[in-house]
Structure 1
């Protein structure tokens, strides 16, 4: 199958540079399989500092890809994250684009 064969199947395949910086792809991959994820859990699973996750989550929120909810558990403030529908679609399109790229590279010449 050639790359052009993939494009007819994968009309949503699109490179999205927002996923190519820092732990954004890892954060979104984590969130795509969940509803709301507590900030501390996301930070620990992504393996980044509070400030890095905060910065990248703000960038994703500004792009419309992430929803952030603040509240408290008892007297302790908490923050939860989840992908928006636009974020899920963008992640799916980016991953499809990466898969198509890999297939194109693996094609024998």
Structure 2
């Protein structure tokens, strides 16, 4: 028998809310979901969150939702590329992630 997932140790209501966030906020990344759990006081690995969301989501994102999420992420990267003055790809991604976090707060 396989090892029990750390997600399974979360309260049922929190797991339901996690799945709800997955459907409601298609632009959220796995980091956004793990940050959300961390804000709730639970440190869960990115891989555990990814496994849980991809295997237990009974209603997958529609193609339109997936496309929207990809467009939002790409738009943040484009804006970051237009304002970032450095040469470091990690720095560019950091700016893009900050923009995406800002977009996420508008939900």
TM-score by length of 1: 0.34
Higher normalized helix content (fraction of residues): 2
Higher normalized strand content (fraction of residues): 1
TM-score by length of 2: 0.34
Higher-Rg member (1/2): 1
Which structure has more relative contact order (CA 8 Å, sep 6+)? It is 1
